[in-house]
Structure 1
Amino acid sequence: MEAMNQASSFVRSNIPTSSSRREITRASIHMPKITTTNLGILAPKYIASNLNLVHEEMHKFSRITSKNPSRENPDRQVMEKLFLILEEVSDRVEMHKNIGEQRNNWNTLLLTSINTITLSAATMAGIAAAVSGAPSQVLKLASGFMYLAATGFLVIMNKIQPSQLAEEQRNAARLFKQLETEIKTKIAISNPTHSDVNEAMKKVLALDRAYPLPLLGVMLEKFPAKVRPAIWWPEKQRSPAKPQIYKHKNGWSVELEEEMREIIRVLEVKDKADYLRLGEKALKLNKALAIAGPILTGLGAIGSAFLASHNSWAMVLGVMGGAMASVVNTVQHGGQVGMVFEMYRSNAGFFKMMQDSIESNLEEISRENGEVFEMKVALQLGRSLSELRDVAAASSSKPGCSDIEEFASKLF
């Protein structure tokens, strides 16, 4: 009846008066006139159209609620907790984004300031070596003071590695954004439970541990003894599945399981191992540059202190020490070697996360749909399904680790 009333009101609202008919006639858009002669023909059409729309929407709603009856009335407490977590995750996205920009500015400003101080000190040392008397003494003291200041700033900058800090915050902002989207999707299309709340909490805390915001006490080690992949996901408790029961179900097959095992093998021996190797090289380079910079500015300070004696070695140290320190500082922080190391470490962590995800689906009773999971793995590696299967087939034909030629990922 409500739909009939709506349709009737719609028809009445569309019956034009004599004045409105005159306006319609003058309008540039020509609309058909509704008169008393054809009203009896058009009214049933309008009513039927609206009734069909109402029935269609009711049918859609009944179809959704029949598939998931509890979706209409989800647990209010669970939804409140998920919305609370979602709010905190959104806040963390902004925090990491803003702090990442701030720390990137640190890198630029400190690099410019230290290079300016160092080159000014080297210039003063050169002028002091060429003159004598009171001006020489003043320039020598100024040069030595600036070298000492540059050395102190360099030690602090090499300790915190601003470019690496900025990369950590960029990664954290991206991963928190990904978690935010995941929670929104879960709220929109599923019926969340307490286990979903606990899982979201664990992911937030794992990301907080992997990418801490403070510098004092909890800052990540910038020069670790051994390069390890970044870990930003919570460890799952696995419940081993029974292969003879769970194979050939939920989109899984023997061939798909073998394909996933070969992908794990390629990720382990090629992709992850390669980025860990590159990370080791970047770490060694960063260590060497972090030691060389303060040493060179310190030598420049020593050279400046002995300029009054007109020793040639003092002049060489005072001038060349500053020039070489500026070059080293530019290579290290201008080239953002710390950021490169963090990028390699994060890439290795991404491949380890993929390994854990595949192993979890192979070993646990509760699996994702096999076809959907295969597509997700292919997209994460930047490949089509056929290319992913070709990589697995090439790996299975070469049992030796050193025989594998192609990397699993085409993204990076």
Structure 2
Amino acid sequence: MAGKVRSLLPPLLLAAAGLAGLLLLCVPTRDVREPPALKYGIVLDAGSSHTSMFIYKWPADKENDTGIVGQHSSCDVPGGGISSYADNPSGASQSLVGCLEQALQDVPKERHAGTPLYLGATAGMRLLNLTNPEASTSVLMAVTHTLTQYPFDFRGARILSGQEEGVFGWVTANYLLENFIKITFETTSPAEDRASEVQLHLYGQHYRVYTHSFLCYGRDQVLQRLLASALQAFSAFFYTVDFLRTSMGLPVATLQQLEAAAVNVCNQTWAQLQARVPGQRARLADYCAGAMFVQQLLSRGYGFDERAFGGVIFQKKAADTAVGWALGYMLNLTNLIPADPPGLRKGTDFSSWVVLLLLFASALLAALVLLLRQVHSAKLPSTI
């Protein structure tokens, strides 16, 4: 008899396993969202004095059709800006190689082919394009040839207008400071204020912002609204004021001090400047004109008084990301990059999982008890 029972045990266990499987399939499930993969984008900021590479990343499943972009890494290209290679276009392209090789390491290999790569040139190339358009074209062609040799999705190299650079810089600063979440745009009548209109596509929404040309005149209602809160000054503003403050050791806490610091720099001879600030020869000649421009723009162009100037914050980074036009450019470009569908898997509610666990545990325990009883009953006849 014991032999018969033991012979039935394997099919019984198999039947129990099949029944458990059927019960498992009948348990209601729900879709559980997998952690999103990351996408990457590369922007080369080809400025007048140097070129910087910024690598950005964002979740593949975008929010409101716009990537939630953050800075992944950066690299400073050695030497001057690409416009300084007007007589040697191949030198401009060769200067980028070191940072591009770093990009190969910073971006996962499986993401190379899907990573857009852009080069945007600003003031230096704008000037070169005006004075020597043939040389400007040659430089862009040379860097394009090099950029296309890399496994990224190269989307082009072009010269940005001053307006584009300004708008993308504005987007960067406000994005990093979360002002798009905190503020609402107050617009005025174009007929009343003679305002010009800038249209922006951000976060999948459409904004119309009336600029009122305050960048040129400054003494209007729009500027007065802006002055009610702190303003962020970045890019050339930061680098110029930082040079005066740290390298020259001059106070710049007030407009009067900023003017005095600018005059101080401009009164230095070339030999005096080199002796006072060794190691910055490449950009040293620009600081006199830059300091004067910043001081005049803030005081006469924007119409800042001492109170308003006290609310200006000069900064290089916000939220661990460089403040400049490149991130704003990347934010705009991610609108054109399709989002990946979210990864889904089937999941079971925790309470159902606990019930299944107890069911399987009970089945195993019952099987063990039955097996022990069969063994015990098989030993009884031999004992008698």
| TM-score normalised by length of structure 1 | 0.23
Which structure has the highest strand share of the two?
A: 2
TM-score, scaled relative to structure 2: 0.25
Higher helix share: 1
